[in-house]
């Protein structure tokens, strides 16, 4: 699906606002950002895989497997509680 010229220009304007901010990031900030992106990707893959496995076994509430996966991937108990609420 191709973007219209208006949408393309709007996206380019948004990108132009973000790029200066990205270029001023320190190496440590980039490292934290990349670590966060990797953790998000792991969570997405884990949730999808757990739902697929639950569906393969014919479980009635397969999405619950994805939720449990997301809750178990948190780094601390406090973060797990915050996610649950």
Q: Could you read off the pLDDT tens digit of each residue along the chain, which spans 85 residues?
A: 455 777 777 777 776 677 676 667 677 777 787 888 888 888 899 999 999 999 999 999 999 999 888 877 777 778 767 766 7
Kindly report whether the global pTM for this prediction surpasses the value 0.85: no
Give the burial class of 50: count Cβ atoms within 10 A of its Cβ; 0-12 exposed, 13-18 middle, 19 or more buried: buried
Report the distance separating Cα 54 and Cα 64, nearest Å: 9
């Amino acid at each position: 699906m191709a973007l219209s010229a208006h949408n393309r220009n709007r996206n380019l304007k948004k990108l132009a606002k973000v790029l200066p901010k990205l270029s001023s990031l320190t190496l440590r900030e980039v490292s934290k950002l990349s670590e966060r992106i990797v953790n998000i990707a792991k969570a997405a893959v884990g949730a999808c895989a757990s739902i697929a496995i639950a569906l393969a076994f014919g479980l009635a509430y397969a999405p619950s497997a994805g939720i449990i996966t997301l809750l178990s991937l948190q780094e601390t108990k406090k973060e797990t509680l915050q996610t649950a609420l």
